[in-house]
């Protein structure tokens, strides 16, 4: 949702676009745009897990680093699973919000609720009798 807001603001504000372009041209950004920089940590987590697992595979069980590496793998997997579940939850809530906004008539309740799941989505046409 945050990415969509940035994208929307980027389209509507030439000043914001210029600011993003200046930031991209700075040496610290390595030529990466804001979207790439924001997604980079999330993309790196699975790579770190693979690296740690490979390191663990080549470390003897009696080595002093073995236990710490094993804990690091478990910790990174937990963080990755948590982030993935939060992303799915956010997408679900965003989907419900879009559906709620698309309904023309006011509902007596809110669709957006952490305990509510969208099971299926389809279009309906309402006809009023004359």
CA angle 51-36-30, nearest 5°? 85
Tell me which of 3-7, 20-24, 75-79 is least confident.
3-7
Q: Is 51 exposed, middle or buried (0-12, 13-18, 19+ CB in 10 A)?
A: middle
| CATH number corresponding to 2-101 | 1.20.900.10
Question: Per-domain residue ranges for the chain?
Answer: 2-101
pTM for the predicted model, two decimal places = 0.62
pLDDT in tens, 78-126: 999 998 888 888 888 888 888 888 877 777 777 777 777 778 888 877 7
Q: What is residue 94's three-state secondary structure? A: helix
Q: What is the DSSP letter of 117?
A: -
Task: Tell me what the pLDDT averaged over the chain comes to.
Answer: 86
Residue 1: what pLDDT? Answer: 61
């Amino acid at each position: 949702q945050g990415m969509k807001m940035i994208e929307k603001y980027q389209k509507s504000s030439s000043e914001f676009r210029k600011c993003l372009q200046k930031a991209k041209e700075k040496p610290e950004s390595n030529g990466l745009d804001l979207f790439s920089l924001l997604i980079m940590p999330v993309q790196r987590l699975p790579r770190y897990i693979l690296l740690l697992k490979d390191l663990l595979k080549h470390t003897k069980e009696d080595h002093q680093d073995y236990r710490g590496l094993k804990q690091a793998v478990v910790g990174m997997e937990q963080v990755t699973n948590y982030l993935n579940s939060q992303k799915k939850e956010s997408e679900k809530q965003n989907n419900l919000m879009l559906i709620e906004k698309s309904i023309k008539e006011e509902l007596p309740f809110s669709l957006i609720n952490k305990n509510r799941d969208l099971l299926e989505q389809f279009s309906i046409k309402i006809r009023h009798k004359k």
